[in-house]
Chain A
Amino acid sequence: DAGITQSPRHKVTETGTPVTLRCHQTENHRYMYWYRQDPGHGLRLIHYSYGVKDTDKGEVSDGYSVSRSKTEDFLLTLESATSSQTSVYFCATDNGGEQYFGPGTRLTVT
């Protein structure tokens, strides 16, 4: 897992509440990514970071924001969760080579 942890691993929340997912890496990789995984869609890129405080939008960024204040941490925030954001969220890192994934966070929005 290339030293990637995600927290929490499971979360149930109500529609309209804010949610923050955390990704922590110990590999000192420059690049970090957030994906969501849904049946029939594979993995889709939400946001990515190419350095501290440097982030950009991916394919499905609406309703999500990110922050990266340290090399090792990349936070994904749902400002006001909706049922369509029920999914499994994966963090990934790379250093210009292979991309490695964390164990995932299963988020359910009721």
Chain B
Amino acid sequence: GENVEQHPSTLSVQEGDSAVIKCTYSDSASNYFPWYKQELGKGPQLIIDIRSNVGEKKDQRIAVTLNKTAKHFSLHITETQPEDSAVYFCAAGNTGFQKLVFGTGTRLLVSP
């Protein structure tokens, strides 16, 4: 079955810096890769996703890149702000009915 590894487990940056979180997956049949942000005491919130027919997707300060050959995808946050502090999860699955497999999460801390 699918296995998703996520690095780093914690990431501390200064406000205004960029942050990059990386994930690798094992199942070449996976074609859907969402990223979730989870704030303390809340459920995960979808922030961006990418499908395997696209190499990069951007939404304001957030971007995701996908390398199907190497089976890895990354989340890039530019101009970080304190409100970006949260735990971020990557996941891999298939479009349509989704049995997502999640990474173990990255705790991002943005210091003012």
Contacts and interface: CB of A to CB of B under 8 A. Distances in A.
Interface of A: 1, 4, 31, 40-45, 48, 50, 58-59, 90, 94, 96, 98-104
A27 to B, nearest CB: 14
B46 A100 contact: yes
Interface string B17-54: 00000000000000000101000011111100100000
A101 B36 CA distance: 10
Given A41-B104, A44-B102, A98 B97 contact: no
A48 B36 CA distance: 19
Contacts of A45: 99-101
Nearest to A50: B97
User: Taking chain B's interface residues, is the majority helix, strand, or loop, or is none over half, making it mixed?
Assistant: loop
A1 B43 contact: yes
A104 B43 contact: yes
29 contacts: A1-B43, A31-B97, A31-B98, A40-B104, A41-B104, A42-B6, A42-B89, A42-B102, A42-B103, A42-B105, A43-B89, A43-B91, A43-B100, A44-B102, A48-B99, A50-B97, A59-B101, A90-B43, A90-B44, A96-B95, A96-B96, A98-B46, A99-B46, A99-B98, A101-B43, A101-B44, A102-B43, A103-B42, A104-B41
A45 B101 CA distance: 8
Contacts of B105: 42
A94 B98 contact: yes
Contacts of B36: 101
A99 B43 contact: no
A40 B102 CA distance: 11
B49 A98 contact: yes
A43 B44 contact: yes
